[in-house]
Amino acid sequence: GNSVTQMEGPVTLSEEAFLTINCTYTATGYPSLFWYVQYPGEGLQLLLKATKADDKGSNKGFEATYRKETTSFHLEKGSVQVSDSAVYFCALRPLGAGGTSYGKLTFGQGTILTVHP
């Protein structure tokens, strides 16, 4: 079946540090990949996405590249801010999921990021 594995965390960084949150996946074919962010007490927000191999998703200074050869979609940011403190979720949507899979996503367990001033 499909699965997503994220680094355990929590991740604690100082402001302006470099961020990497690892995400690897298991799926058949070429799934679509996503990163979501959840701020305290809120719902999930789509941060970025990639729908095919070698695509790079980017938004708000965050980037992730779809690596088919390593089945990975690691999230990176060059300089984090206190306002980036949140829980980050990696997710996949299987190829051809418009049919019997009904667009269901498989989520990782989430990684807590805390950024100190």
Partner 1 sequence: SQTIHQWPATLVQPVGSPLSLECTVEGTSNPNLYWYRQAAGRGLQLLFYSVGIGQISSEVPQNLSASRPQDRQFILSSKKLLLSDSGFYLCAWSLHYEQYFGPGTRLTVT
Name the residues that contact partner 1, by CB under 8 A: 32, 34, 36, 38, 40-46, 49, 51, 87, 89, 93, 102-105, 107, 109-110, 112
Task: Report angle CA 74, 77, 78 to the nearest 5 degrees.
Answer: 130
Residue with tokens 């470099």: 18
Q: Least distance in Å: CB of 79 to partner 1? A: 26
- Residue 25 or residue 32: which is nearer to partner 1 going by CB? 32
- Residue 1 or residue 43: which is nearer to partner 1 going by CB? 43
Amino acid making up residue 108: G
- Whole-angstrom distance, CA of residue 22 vs CA of residue 65: 11
- Residue 16 or residue 104: which is nearer to partner 1 going by CB? 104
Q: Nearest to residue 60, comparing CAs of 72, 38, 76?
A: 76
Q: Least distance in Å: CB of 16 to partner 1? A: 26
